[in-house]
């Protein structure tokens, strides 16, 4: 297992990609220890001085005006964790839980939350021993923080709830023992600090972003191959066209297409053809994919900031001996970033589906009907395109902006919420849909280029075709099609196709 030292507030997207994909042995940079202790000391001063401060010696939400006696403070913190564990639905994947826990560790270790180092180290130990709390996916409205998911995460520290170790679900007390831990007693403010925060929404959104980046790279490579299969023009990718608009994402993407299409026999074979213009799904790829890239880059910037944010409440400013109640737990920034990712993911799939439709249409592509010889007896890619169309339609429905769908909670004290958790969680299904669409296009484009023999595509795209053909043979006659799509989808989602675009193109590469 690789090691990673966390410098609180400085996690990069590349690190977050790695954490999302693989277990790590974590440790904290010891430079953060004094700030952590100073925030604890500040909380303890509040109690000694008998000051009334929200979340330390008051109730929560609408009960914030209720003063809690000192003798009940431990019970208060334990009670909030237990009572807020109300999630439903299937459990988050281990990778999502791991990322969520690391985000919480990173936030608490900045020393603005008033929690002991012992508590943070306990979370680190769970991550290092791959003990993942069983956290239901549904039940958070994304303000005040991801209360329910983070409560389920925190329950395990108390010896309550369930955890998963090596794929086996077991009682929390048993899982703690495997991690070499005992149930912890929460000190003042610690329960609230664990539960407040946007780490569940942010973990879902980050995984949605990382998946969308992989899809983007795969779709650029696949779209280039479709240009070859359809004997499309190179003129739309000319740098002068894109400099005239000036959008950086569009300029960068056009360069990626030029690189992939360079030095192709197929291009030379139709250099003097009488075709005037290609359909938009070929010709406007830099414009559409460039706009998608701009959305992904924007979302990446927001989510990298949020991954390093302190988003619980109240916040402890030890140097000024102040504890301030604010609203950083409101996940609106995450929700809006998720909307941008959703739109980009849907559009990547939408234009890919259109290219599949183009390739199977003999009048547009100049290829055999449905990309198979002896059509009529063979249906070829006819119904594979139906699948792509169905998935593109699903994605359109899921682009409805969840962040605009607020409902008040906590007896109208929490009267506007972000709904970011669902907005981010749906990205997984949208990515799965788009991955299958791009996979179908990849199979269709590879088939189309094979049908152009003896002409060959560019060297880079020949490498792409080799990756496909090492998994899926040429479609010479009808066969059981579903496994072909599954194998191509696996290739699209694997990240292997990221090498077909410049590593600087996408933020986490």
Q: Catalytic site residues?
A: 54
Please state whether the peptide bond connecting residue 340 to the residue before it is cis, i.e. omega within 30 degrees of 0.
no
Helix axes 13-21, 285-307, angle to 10 degrees: 90
Task: Pick the closest to residue 2 from 19, 24, 20, 21 (CA basis).
Answer: 24
Q: Nearest 5°: phi and psi at 169? A: -85, 130
Cis check for the bond before 144: say yes or no (omega within 30 of 0).
yes
Say what angle helices 248-261 and 459-469 make with each other, to 10 degrees. Answer: 80
Cα separation, 234 vs 286, in Å, equals 12
End-to-end CA distance of the chain: 21
Is residue 142 within 8 Å of 407, Cβ to Cβ?
Answer: no
Query: CA-to-CA distance for 442 and 420, rounded, in angstroms?
Result: 33
SS3 at position 305: helix
HEC profile of 125-183: HHHHCCEEECCEEECCCCCCCCHHHHHHHHHHHHCCCEEEECCEEEEHHHHHHHCCCCC
* DSSP β-ladder status, 162-165 and 168-171: antiparallel
Task: Give the Cα separation of 420 and 401 in Å (integer).
Answer: 10
Query: Which H or E run includes 249?
Result: helix 248-261
Q: Which of 394, 383, 403 is nearest to 350 (CA)?
A: 394
Residue 364 near residue 230 (C-beta atoms within 8 A) = yes
User: Which residues, at least 6 apart from 243, have a Cβ–Cβ distance to it below 8 Å?
Assistant: 251
CB of 380 within 8 A of CB of 370?
yes
Contacts 24+ apart (CB under 8 A), 29-33: 29/5, 31/7, 32/7, 32/8, 32/109, 32/110, 32/111, 33/117
Secondary structure of residue 100 in the 3-state scheme: helix
Rounded to whole angstroms, the Cα distance separating 107 from 381 reads 50
User: CA 433, 438, 443, 445: dihedral to nearest 10 degrees?
Assistant: 150
């Amino acid at each position: 297992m690789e090691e990673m030292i966390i410098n609180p507030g400085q996690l990069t997207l590349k690190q977050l990609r790695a954490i999302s994909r693989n277990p790590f042995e974590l440790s904290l940079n010891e430079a953060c220890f004094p700030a952590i202790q100073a925030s604890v000391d500040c909380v303890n001063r509040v109690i000694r001085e008998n000051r009334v401060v929200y979340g330390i010696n008051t109730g929560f939400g609408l009960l914030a005006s209720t003063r809690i006696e000192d003798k009940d403070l431990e019970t208060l913190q334990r009670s909030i964790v237990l009572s807020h564990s109300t999630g439903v639905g299937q459990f988050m994947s281990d990778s999502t839980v791991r990322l969520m826990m690391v985000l919480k560790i990173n936030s608490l270790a900045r020393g603005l939350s008033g929690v002991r180092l012992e508590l943070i180290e306990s979370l680190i130990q769970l991550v290092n021993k791959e003990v993942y709390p069983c956290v239901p996916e549904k039940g958070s409205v994304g303000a005040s923080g991801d209360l329910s998911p983070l409560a389920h995460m925190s329950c395990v520290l108390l010896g309550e709830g369930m955890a998963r170790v090596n794929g086996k679900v077991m009682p929390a007390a048993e899982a703690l023992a495997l991690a070499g831990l005992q149930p912890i007693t929460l000190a003042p403010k610690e329960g609230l600090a664990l539960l407040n925060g946007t780490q569940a929404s942010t973990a879902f959104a980050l995984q949605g972003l990382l998946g969308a980046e992989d899809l983007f790279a795969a779709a650029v490579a696949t779209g280039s191959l479709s240009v070859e299969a359809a004997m499309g023009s190179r003129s739309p990718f000319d740098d002068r066209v894109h400099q005239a608009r000036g959008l950086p994402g569009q300029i960068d993407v056009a360069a990626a297409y030029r690189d992939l299409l360079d030095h192709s026999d197929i291009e030379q074979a139709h250099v003097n053809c009488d075709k005037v213009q290609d359909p938009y799904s070929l010709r406007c790829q830099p414009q559409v994919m460039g706009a998608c890239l701009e959305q992904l880059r924007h979302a990446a910037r927001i989510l990298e900031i949020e991954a390093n944010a302190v988003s619980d409440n109240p916040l402890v400013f030890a140097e000024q001996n102040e504890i301030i109640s604010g609203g950083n737990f409101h996940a609106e920034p995450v929700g809006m970033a998720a909307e941008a990712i959703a739109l980009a993911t849907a559009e990547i799939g939408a234009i890919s589906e259109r290219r599949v439709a183009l390739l199977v249409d003999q009048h547009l592509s100049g290829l055999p009907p449905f990309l198979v010889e002896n059509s009529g007896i063979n249906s070829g890619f006819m119904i594979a395109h139906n699948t792509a169309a169905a998935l593109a339609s699903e994605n359109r429905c899921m682009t409805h902006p969840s962040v605009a769908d607020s409902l008040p909670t906590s007896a109208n004290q929490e009267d506007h919420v972000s709904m970011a958790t669902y907005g981010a969680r749906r990205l997984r299904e949208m990515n799965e849909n788009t991955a299958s669409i791009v996979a179908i296009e990849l199979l269709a484009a590879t088939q189309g280029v094979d049908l152009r023999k003896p002409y060959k595509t560019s060297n880079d795209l020949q490498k792409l075709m080799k990756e496909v053909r090492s998994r899926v043979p040429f479609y010479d006659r009808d066969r059981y099609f579903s496994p072909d799509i599954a194998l191509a989808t696996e290739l699209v989602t694997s990240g292997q196709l990221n090498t077909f675009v410049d590593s600087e193109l996408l933020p986490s590469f």
